[in-house]
Copies of this chain bind each other. A is one copy, B any other.
Amino acid sequence: MGSFLGQLLRIATFGESHGPAVGVVIDGCPPGLALDLELVQRDLDRRRPGQSSLTSARGEADRVEVLSGLFEGRTTGAPLALMVRNEDARPQAYEAMRELYRPSHADYSYDAKYGTRDWRGGGRASARETVGRVAAGAVGRQWLAAHGVEVLAWVEQVGSIVAAVDPARVRFEDVEAHPTRCPDPTAAARMQEEIEATRRERDTIGGVVGCVARGVPAGLGEPVFDKLSADLAKALISLPASRGFEIGRGFAASAMRGSVHNDPFTVQDGAIRTTKNDSGGIQGGISNGEAIELRVAFKPVATIFREQETVTRAGEAVNLTASGRHDPCVVPRAVPMVEAMVLLVLWDHWLRQRAVRG
């Protein structure tokens, strides 16, 4: 359980880090979308390991194959099944970890849940599972783009280095201009140094990803439990290593007065707008037509190449020095993952709102 997401746009992902393949089934994609597979591949390439010196060295081409749902280049309303074969799996590298629990990884909690686990590279808990998410999000990106929506994420923080990014102006090219995916060049250079230093120290480091969705109409999201903000929170906290979520001003709003935080309404070009956007585009859980702005905190990757104290499955204390191929900092590759989750939630709620208003 747990590998299914969405109400009207539903996805089911499958695959382990070192199994035969990873992928996704997308049900509910409206008919008639002319799918550009190169754009799907582009997002998978932004996610894949080995794309820069800052990422894991695992060598995966991650070529996507469409198993169903396309006819003459367009979606038909039938489920889209997208698959990527695992090519550079090296399970033997994990043999040493078969009987012990890597600290702050999912090894122990999976064992406690299932009484067993696929120890090859983290199995289902590996970030490789996000291939299916990113592929599905890339389909959603095309559908939403045709409806005027753009979703863009970037690296906002690595360790204690915080970038200056204006969500209203940041562009895709600015993000992709640097391997860190930080659109602030000064901060980006410092982040790169920090990540490289962290790697040299055989350590890992956390970071924050910011995201904006532009062109979202007012009215998306449902009252009470399925608020747009709530479904975004779930989707983003479901990403590996994600530890915090903010919409609009987030935790900073806690220290504010209502007279400062409230966004006054005004009329611009005949449309009702707000004069500022501390609400991050969502009021009462429902989009208000302003840009949706959110941030996601990622902890440092659990696998470090230093000696750590841990225990075996049998409960014996041991020291572990991990091997394998891992990123020193997850956030450059988390950028397309964050975008994918936001795209999937917006797509689902767009369809839900079509049902509400007809």
A289 at the interface (CB under 8 A from B): yes
Give which listed residue, B125, B234, B352, contacts A234 with CB less than 8 A: B234
* A118-B265 contact, Cβ under 8 Å, with A243-B249, A283-B106: no
Q: Are B27 and A288 in contact (CB under 8 A)?
A: no
Interchain CA distance A204-B231 in the complex, whole Å? 27
Tell me the minimal C-beta distance from A222 to chain B in angstroms: 3
- Of chain B, the residue at the smallest CB distance from A77 is B114
Pick the contact of A103: B2, B116, B264 (CB < 8 A): B264
Q: Which of A14-22, A43-51, A169-177 contacts B (4 or more CB under 8 A)?
A: A14-22
Question: Measured between C-beta atoms, what is the minimum distance from A103 to chain B in Å?
Answer: 4
- In this complex, how many residues of chain A approach chain B with their Cβ under 8 Å: the count is 156
> Which of these, B114, B223, B229, B308, contacts A125 with CB under 8 Å?
B223
Least Cβ distance of A16 to chain B in Å?
6
Residue of B nearest to A21 (CB): B67
Instruction: Determine the chain B residues whose CB is within 8 A of the CB of A109 once the complex forms.
Output: 218-219, 221, 282-288
User: Closest CB-CB distance, A267 to chain B, in whole Å?
Assistant: 5
* Residues 206-233 (chain A) with a chain B CB within 8 angstroms: 206-208, 217-227, 229-233
With most chain B CB atoms within 10 A of its CB, the pick from A232, A274, A357 is A357
- Whether B267 and A315, one on each chain, are in contact in the complex, defined by CB atoms closer than 8 angstroms, is yes
Complex interface: chain B residues within 8 A of A240 (CB): 284
Which label, helix, strand, loop or mixed, suits the secondary structure of the A interface? mixed
The smallest C-beta distance from A244 to any residue of chain B, in angstroms, reads 4
A30 to B115, CA, bound (A): 10
Tell me the complex Cα distance, A226–B157, Å. 27
* Interface residue ranges of A251-305 to B (CB < 8 Å): 251, 253-267, 270, 272, 274-275, 278-280, 282-289, 297-304
Shortest A37–chain B CB gap in Å is 13
Please tell me if the beta carbons of A251 and B243 are within 8 angstroms of each other in the complex: yes
Given contacts A108-B218, A227-B237, A264-B308, could you give 14 more A-B pairs where the C-beta distance is less than 8 Å?
A1-B352, A2-B27, A2-B227, A12-B79, A77-B124, A101-B272, A104-B258, A104-B261, A109-B284, A206-B261, A208-B254, A246-B297, A258-B304, A267-B316
Q: Could you list 13 examples of A-B contacts with CB < 8 Å? A: A8-B355, A20-B65, A21-B81, A104-B263, A109-B288, A112-B218, A113-B221, A129-B224, A231-B234, A233-B245, A234-B237, A251-B251, A266-B311
